[in-house]
């Protein structure tokens, strides 16, 4: 895959997104889509994630994040495209 075709995005997810398996579900979805990066809970109650991959695949993850796992209640998703690639190994949950 050509590096130029890849991009990195950061997403901050607001709502009832902690304690509802959001990180585990996001990791599962990202791995299913072949994306790399990480997801973590933030002290302010949001979930923050960074993902790298092809733009159309990142859009699929973003669409999923707007809904989230069954018990989540997503109110808002902030998406920011990052300039540089971090070349993550796999997709992990962080604390």
The residues that are catalytic are 23, 41
C-alpha span between 84 and 9 (Å, rounded)? 10
Backbone angles phi, psi at 85, to 5 degrees: -90, 140
């Amino acid at each position: 895959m050509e590096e130029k075709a890849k991009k990195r995005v950061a997403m901050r997810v607001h709502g009832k997104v902690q304690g509802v398996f959001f990180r585990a579900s996001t990791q599962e979805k990202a791995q299913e889509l072949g994306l790399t990066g990480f997801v973590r809970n933030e002290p302010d109650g949001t979930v923050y994630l960074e993902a790298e991959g092809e733009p159309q695949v990142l859009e699929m993850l973003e669409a999923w994040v707007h809904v989230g796992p069954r018990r989540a209640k997503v109110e808002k998703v902030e998406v920011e495209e990052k300039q540089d690639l971090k070349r993550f190994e796999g997709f992990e949950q962080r604390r």
